[in-house]
A and B are shown apart, each in its own frame.
Chain A
Amino acid sequence: MTARSGVWLVVMVVALVLVPVLIGSPFYVNLASQVLIYAILAMSLNLLVGFGGLTSLGHAAYLGFAAYVTIYLTTLAGFGQFSGALIALVATTGLAMLFGFLALRASGLGFLMITLALGQILWGLAFRWVSLTGGDNGLGGMQRPHPFGIDLGDPNAFYYFALCFFLVAFAGIALFVRSPFGHSLRGSRDQPRRMRALGYNVWFVQWCGFVYAGFWGAIAGILYAYYNQFVSPHALNLMTSAETLLMVIAGGAGTLFGPIVGAVLVVVLKNVVSAYIARWVMLLGAVFVMIVLFMPEGLVPGTTRWTKLALGRRRRAAGGGPGEATGTAAVQERSS
């Protein structure tokens, strides 16, 4: 991590800690909690889309499955809060192992189609297996846990609870991406053949990335269950998967901060727009088309490149050669 992104990291953490103090109103603090939950989900999907080159359209599966298991276990099956969450985490990671095995039989568009179909299976189960899942009515009646005697019913307390998980997820994903294993995942994305020739088991590397992404998806799902205290098939449907993918792509796939920016953008846009018009889905579709056509690399790399170019130009005007070098290097980095 360069010095500049280190600075950004500190700024981000300080800003996130100060959010409840700065905005005060419970409505917006809750909105911020939602952003954090979706940011965890988007960061986990980014492991696949950005770093693994595997575009999944079924990532809501882990969010919804973990939420269903958590709520089912703690309300209907009589498990405790901690054991319920733990079992949900293990079960969802197991689901990711199975789905990874199936989806990685193909690559590219085949992978996308299979993940979509697998996600739809879970949606179908939730929607039609009424005796188990409550069907369209979903499952509710869940209480938020009281870790160390803190009541998470309070918006601020829940925000800090979610923030802890968010920071751990960010660190866990950042370290993973920068580890040798993360590099081999990126290598499998860019040059699968060369990686094979070098003796890497590309399939296994991708499968591990897939399972790790499912693990963080499960964390997001458990937080989702705590936040809403309710889950319905909506958490599993294609819309949710597509929204998550939009967060990753709009923010910038393959960057650490991109999915977070994307999550802020999509969650805020959705809540603001839904308050005024009923056509959120149509807007989501239009945003998708616009992003792909006009800003395919996403907001974070797009603006970074523009700033670098602008800075480079200014430095060059001041009579420096290195400025130009950084500018072109940035462009080359993108195009390679």
Chain B
Amino acid sequence: MNFWVIQGLNGLAFGSLLFILAAGFSLIFGLMRVANLAHGAFFMLGAYVGLSAIDNGMNFWVAILIGGLTVCVLGGVMEGLILRRLAGQPLAQVLVTLGIAFIIADGCLWLWSGDPRPLPMPSELQGVLRFGGLIFPKYRLFVVVVAVCLAGALWLLLERSRVGAMIRAGVDDMEMARVMGIRTSLLFPLVFCLGSALAGAGGVLAGPILSVYPSMDTDMLPMALVVVILGGVGSLGGAFVGALVIGFIYSYGQALVPDLAYVILFLPMVLVLTIRPTGLFGRRLV
């Protein structure tokens, strides 16, 4: 019994990290039709920048801010300088993001060397909580709370604000939105920066759980893809459900069949593609 609850909570924590990662990817992909393959590299870069911030004596919360902002600026520059030039060529855009992913990954290896490094967690979140006979680390619960708050905030932004209405209009029908006078050229950098910032801050947040290591980007990117394919493109709810499903499967799989844990992660994707190629909550074929 304890085993199932503890692993369930671990799955919830991992799923929360995946949601933070996948929400940014899904937001960008949904609006701009850009599959940002540098998203995993953004996540890793955020984690490394956060690590350096902590090494230089800043506290964890400032590190999250710095990690998020750095990647946000980088994403904005990439969108403005490169992706915009390739507007309307989705394939060229995706290849450019892949090239940038390699540049960032190799740059991180260069700057921070190849050793995995743990990212220290803030002192106020160290230790464990006890309910009855259960012991659970505080930090993982904190990550779950962050993800739930983030989901709420994004929901408010997308469903209850004017900007959100514009973004949704752009996701649904870009041309019609333009005709109605929505300046999608202003929305693009905004959404791209927001999605990148989520990746960067998410990386710092993941640091204490996953630690920071060189192949973090190629470990996390496929997971973001799987979550998005599973949940449906551009759907926030889909990303949330998809991330939780993957989080649970990973956590139980890791404990029950460690050799195959990584592989069974992809089974739900295979299943969904076979039965419902639009994803659980998607309306359009990816």
Contacts and interface: CB of A to CB of B under 8 A. Distances in A.
Nearest to B262: A124
Contact of B286 (A102, A110, A131, A292): A110
B92 interface: yes
Interface string A110-133: 101110111011001101111100
Contact of B99 (A105, A107, A125, A289): A289
A249 interface: yes
Interface in A200-237: 237
Contacts of A121: 262-263, 266
A281 B105 contact: yes
B229 A117 contact: yes
B260 interface: yes
A293 interface: yes
Given A105-B277, A110-B285, A128 B95 contact: no
Nearest to A111: B286
A138 interface: no
Contacts of A284: 99, 102
Contacts of B91: 55, 108-109
Contacts of B29: 109
Contacts of B92: 292, 296
Interface string A151-180: 000000000000000000000000000000
Main secondary structure of the interface of B (DSSP, over half): helix
A130 B263 CA distance: 13
B222 A120 contact: yes
A238 interface: yes
Interface in A77-120: 102, 105-110, 112-114, 116-118, 120
A282 interface: yes
Nearest to A281: B106
B98 interface: yes
B130 interface: no
Interface in B130-152: none
Nearest to A285: B102
Q: Which one of B100, B109, B222 has the greatest number of beta carbons of chain A within 10 Å?
A: B222
A293 B82 contact: yes
Interface stretch (B189-197, B203-211, B268-276): B268-276
Interface in B36-89: 37, 82, 85-86, 89
Interface residues of B, number: 48
Contacts, number: 126
A249 to B, nearest CB: 7
A242 interface: yes
Nearest to A124: B262
A51 to B, nearest CB: 15
Contacts of A106: 273, 277, 285-286
B118 interface: no
B149 to A, nearest CB: 28
A288 B218 contact: no
A287 interface: yes
Of the listed residues A108, A110, A237, the one surrounded by the most CB atoms of chain B closer than 10 A to its CB is: A110
A233 B89 CA distance: 32
Contacts of A47: none
Interface string B241-270: 000000000000000001111110110011
Nearest to A110: B286
B246 to A, nearest CB: 11
Contacts of B286: 106, 109-110, 113-114
Interface in A229-265: 237-239, 242, 245, 249
Given A108-B90, A131-B259, A286 B218 contact: no
A113 B102 contact: no
Nearest to A121: B266
A57 interface: yes
B222 to A, nearest CB: 4
Given A102-B270, A108-B90, A113 B259 contact: no
Interface string A42-86: 000000000000010100000000000000000000000000000
Interface string B217-246: 010011001101100010000000000000
A232 to B, nearest CB: 14
A131 B5 CA distance: 30
A235 B270 CA distance: 23
Contacts of A242: 98, 102
Interface string B101-137: 1110111011000000000000000000000000000
Contacts of B102: 239, 242, 281-282, 284-285, 288
Contacts of B233: 110
A281 to B, nearest CB: 4
A-B pairs with lowest CB-CB distance, top 8? A288-B99, A285-B102, A110-B286, A124-B262, A285-B103, A282-B106, A281-B106, A120-B222
16 contacts: A102-B273, A102-B274, A106-B286, A107-B285, A109-B35, A110-B233, A112-B94, A117-B222, A117-B269, A124-B262, A242-B102, A281-B109, A285-B106, A286-B103, A288-B99, A293-B85
Given A57-B98, A293-B86, 15 more contacts: A106-B277, A110-B233, A113-B228, A117-B226, A125-B260, A125-B262, A128-B259, A128-B262, A249-B95, A279-B110, A287-B99, A288-B95, A288-B98, A296-B89, A296-B92
